[in-house]
Amino acid sequence: MIPSSRSWRPGYATAGTLKRMVAPTAVARAPKPITRVLAPIRPLHSAPTPSPTPSAATAAADPKKMKIVTAYAFAAKPRESEESKSDENSNTEPLRPVVTERAIDPGSDLGLWRSKMLKGGDAGEDALMVAKSPDQSTVLLGVADGVGGWSESGVDPSLYSNALLHYAAQFAERHATMPTPQAILQHAFDQVAENPEIEAGSSTACLLRLDTSTGRMSCANVGDSGFVHLRPDPASPEGRMYVVNSSVPQLYGFNCPYQLAKVPQSMLQPGSLTNFPSDASLHDVDLQRGDMVLVMTDGFLDNVHCKLPPKESLTPDAPQRPELLQLIDMLQDKHREHWAKTKKPGATAADEKQDFANVVASTLMQYARLCQMTEEKVSPFQIDAARHGIHYPGGKIDDIALICAAAV
């Protein structure tokens, strides 16, 4: 267990120089001379050495139709009130408007869809969705992270991210054979642009299409949300997972990702940038039974290592297995014991995978929240900050949205 040494500090993750930009200018993106700062050397958890990771191209598609089970979890970071900001900035320049309430009408189609997805909960500026084709043969997973900087202009950052995924889900579910993730993202982007009720906003987005008939997984990713594709190692008696494929963040610079955006003329600035679905990073890989796919916003990716950190951030005795896989190892062992005691007569392999997916989604989200709260563990965000000459100990407090899908 990671000890918590950090209290919930409102606005901590977006304070000062770490604030994400809405539409970065050319001047803001220009490189600046900095002194390299190495992150402190601390070990991660102990775990066995992994087997070599095979190439995704060697994975053969399963000719038989498989089933996809899904589970998701989310958490909103604490929100900074306008009053607390006023106290903190009493001797500084006047405040810009700050959004303290959601602009999504609970009774609208978007509000009802969001409430159904989140079961009445709150994912903050993040959004997520799971959609299925009418015959259940294709599943679409999606996460989006609304850019928080819009709140200073009086715009609710969650409106754009939720509307984007709402339109994506509607479009996907209308087709017996789902279009590609990029085509779905293009449709959603166009719908948001044409909606006069959405004044402005921007968001990262990651959409994955899983086809149970062909065993193919396709992805379109814009920004620093992303996915990790895992597979059981056939050489491991315990069925330990290895990483088959994962997304690479698209960034203009430190903490400034590519983002789909709607920027009114009144807010445009010289050098402002807006990304489009055509800028998305595309992936197309095979799925096999037993595979697991995790889709998440940067609230998870900035706090949990999905790949090994640089050698200078590790002690010589540190395990050569990424933190995410160590967590999955532990959950596999615990769940195997749990399922043996609690499974009901007639339970299927799909039931077991569904139960495991529930555990994985919930536990990983809770673990990421713990990592956000501590300065005792070197986070991926801390290492990235150090590369840019910024001292930022521990985790980054942010919203989290995570989906776990397993092929049976």
Q: Measure Cα distances from 254 to 250, 383, 385, 408 in Å.
A: 11, 11, 7, 39
Domain 60-77+99-407 bears CATH identifier 3.30.590.20: no
Q: Tens digit of pLDDT per residue, the chain (408 long)?
A: 454 445 443 333 333 334 444 444 444 334 333 333 333 333 333 334 444 444 444 444 445 689 999 999 999 998 765 444 445 444 444 444 455 566 899 999 999 999 999 998 999 999 999 999 988 899 999 999 999 989 888 899 999 999 999 999 999 999 988 999 999 999 999 999 999 999 999 999 999 999 999 999 999 999 999 999 999 999 999 999 999 999 999 999 999 999 999 998 888 776 667 899 999 999 999 999 999 999 999 999 999 999 987 776 666 766 778 999 999 999 999 999 999 999 999 999 999 999 999 999 999 999 999 999 999 999 999 999 999 999 999 999 999 999 999 999
**DSSP secondary structure, 90-117, as one string:** TTSSPPPP---S--S-TTSHHHHHHHHH
The answer to whether the CB of 398 falls within 8 A of the CB of 302 is yes
Instruction: Give CA–CA dist 262/189, Å, rounded.
Output: 9
Report the pLDDT value the prediction gives residue 305, as an integer from 0 to 100.
Answer: 95
**Residue found under tokens 């279009």:** 179
Domain ranges of the chain: 60-77+99-407
pLDDT of residue 313: 64
Q: Which two tokens stand for residue 84?
A: 């607390």
Q: What is the CA radius of gyration of the chain?
A: 21
What pLDDT, on the 0 to 100 scale, is given for residue 21? 44
221 φ/ψ angles, rounded to the nearest 5 degrees = -130, 130
137-158 burial, b at 16+ Cβ within 10 Å, e below that, comes to: bbbbbbbbbbbbbbbbbebbbb
Task: Give the number of other Cβ atoms within 10 Å of residue 36's Cβ.
Answer: 8
The per-residue pLDDT for 317 is: 67
- The CB density around residue 271, as the number of other CB atoms within 10 Å, is 12
State the DSSP string of 60-90: PPPSS---EEEEEEEEPPPPPPHHHHHHHTT
**Tell me, what's the pLDDT at 314?**
65
Judge contact between 122 and 400, C-beta under 8 A: no
Torsion, CA 39, CA 45, CA 51, CA 53, rounded to 10: -50
